[in-house]
Amino acid sequence: MYLQTVALNDVKCFALHGFYPEEQLTGTEFLVSVEVTFIPSGDTEDLQRTVNYEVLNTIILEEMRNTKKMLESVVKLILDRTISTFPFVLTAVAGIKKVHPPMPGEIDNSFVQLSYTSEKKY
């Protein structure tokens, strides 16, 4: 049995997410990653039988446009849409890095991640 992985890593997005009002006014850069696994079936050249990473990119970009206070909310929306779009996915992980969050000290990024595991047996 094969287990296939499809992923997008560090998709750059400028967005207005943030708990504080000034974050929602000025915005910042985010890096978003999504990784899914599934059992490939049939023709691996058929986009209907795989996870199309162009669709993953669209999900990421659309959800990042909808301003939220908490990155936890955004990452859950990305994961929920991914699972809904590709119901055959066995595992999925989505994460968002906020580049240089506005806090004292030199911080490369803050990070929020959420994981999903299907209850289906493979």
- The answer to whether residue 62 scores a pLDDT higher than 90 is yes
Structure token pair of residue 46: 């058929």
Determine whether 116 is exposed, middle or buried from the number of CB atoms within 10 Å of its CB (0-12, 13-18, 19+). Answer: middle
In order of their start, the domains of the chain are 4-117 (3.30.1130.10)
Strands 4-15 and 28-38: antiparallel
Q: Residue 122 in contact with residue 96, Cβ under 8 Å?
A: no
Check whether 96 has a pLDDT greater than 70: yes
Please give the Cα distance from 43 to 13 (Å, whole number). 33
Q: Mean pLDDT over residues 51-63, rounded?
A: 97
Residue 121 binned pLDDT confidence (cut-offs 50, 70, 90): low
**Rounded Cα–Cα distance for residues 115 and 33 (Å):** 12
Rg value, the chain, Cα: 16
